[in-house]
């Protein structure tokens, strides 16, 4: 079944406006309750390794250099050089200009290469520029594209424009997977997060992602819960599974495990895989490695033991 089998652009507005409203109190209470669950001993070790395998290790700074990107790729391939049993991350995420550097550094590793595109982080560019940005990144070696939606168009109610842009970018991706960034911190309401999630999935997104990491409010547990419920309900209706990627502000192991518990309790084991869930992060990996070392040796490595990103 195709993504757009049931809803075309002509009735997109009525479909999105007809989605059930989100119970703000309920979703925040459930997210808070799930955040109190604890994971101990061997289960915690398994959760930490899974979280490492779910990390999209990211550098998206104007001061990025080829050397910094190569170092990040080396870390992603082998996060703890002292422990060959430590798993690699899911992907390295960089700006399009750094894709050729990262592609060479990751060759043969099995670590995916993601590139932000479509005038990240604002999304404020003509469609032809966004498509050229996407094609260039894919041709240079990216096998995942993280695009941003036009939030202004979405908030103005121009759902068809947002839908059509995602469809066009998906086509420009070719065989590369498409992660659609909703920038939930700018969408204002949980209802808008649900609508944007469904819109992106109907247009063909392989993943829906919370944030660019460049605004004041990024990933939160309640927002991610709304998105997880959306991908669950979308699969029930359309038979296609879509991944979820919270990004921005997830900095420590305790928080990462809260997200894993939420996945297990909301959508089940099917999403407990880097194929279907990712953390967009730069500093999270170091804390995961420190906690992993603590479980294995009984003491913490110093904060400068692992490279800073």
Q: Are 16 and 198 in contact (CB under 8 A)?
A: yes
The answer for residues whose C-beta is within 8 angstroms of residue 75's C-beta and 6 or more apart is 57, 285, 307, 309
The answer for residues whose C-beta is within 8 angstroms of residue 55's C-beta and 6 or more apart is 76, 89, 90, 91, 278, 279, 281, 284, 285, 288
CA angle 53, 58, 61 (to 5 degrees): 175
Give the DSSP letter of residue 58: E
Q: Look up 258 and say whether it is catalytic.
A: no
CA dist list (Å): 28 to 25, 55, 70, 182, 218: 5, 25, 40, 19, 16
Instruction: Choose the catalytic residue: 146, 206, 255, 287.
Output: 146
Instruction: Choose the catalytic residue: 245, 255, 258, 287.
Output: 245
Q: Look up 304 and say whether it is catalytic.
A: no
Element (H, E) at 291: helix 284-297
Dihedral-angle region of residue 56 (phi above 0 means left; psi in -120 to 50 means alpha; beta otherwise): beta
* Widest Cα–Cα separation across the chain: 60
Q: Look up 245 and say whether it is catalytic.
A: yes
Instruction: Choose the catalytic residue: 75, 170, 179, 209.
Output: 209
Q: Please list the active-site residues.
A: 146, 209, 245
């Amino acid at each position: 079944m195709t993504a757009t089998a049931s809803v075309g652009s002509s009735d997109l507005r009525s479909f999105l406006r007809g989605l059930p409203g989100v119970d703000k109190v309920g979703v925040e209470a459930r997210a808070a309750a799930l955040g109190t669950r604890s994971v101990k001993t061997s289960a915690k070790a398994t959760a930490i390794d899974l979280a490492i395998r779910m990390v999209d290790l990211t550098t998206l700074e104007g001061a990025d250099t080829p050397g910094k990107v190569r170092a990040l790729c080396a870390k992603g391939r082998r996060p703890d050089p002292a422990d060959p049993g430590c798993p690699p991350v899911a992907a390295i995420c960089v700006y399009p200009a750094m894709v050729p550097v990262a592609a060479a550094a990751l060759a043969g590793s099995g670590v995916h290469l993601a590139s932000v595109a479509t005038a990240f982080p604002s999304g404020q560019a003509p469609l032809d520029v966004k498509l050229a940005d996407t094609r260039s990144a894919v041709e240079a070696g990216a096998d995942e594209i993280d695009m941003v939606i036009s939030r202004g168009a979405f908030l103005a109610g121009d759902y068809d424009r947002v839908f059509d842009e995602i469809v066009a970018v998906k086509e420009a991706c070719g065989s590369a997977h498409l992660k659609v960034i909703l920038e939930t911190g700018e969408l204002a309401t949980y209802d808008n997060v649900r609508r944007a999630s469904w819109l992106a999935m109907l247009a063909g997104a392989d993943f829906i992602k919370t944030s660019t990491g460049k605004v004041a409010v990024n990933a939160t547990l309640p927002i991610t819960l709304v998105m997880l419920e959306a991908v669950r309900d979308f699969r029930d209706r359309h038979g296609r599974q879509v991944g979820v990627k919270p990004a921005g502000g997830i900095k420590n192991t305790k928080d990462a495990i809260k997200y894993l518990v939420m996945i297990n309790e909301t959508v089940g084991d099917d999403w407990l895989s880097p194929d279907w869930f990712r953390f967009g992060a730069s500093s999270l990996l170091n804390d995961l490695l420190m906690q992993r070392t603590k479980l294995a040796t009984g003491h913490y490595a110093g904060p400068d033991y692992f490279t800073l990103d």
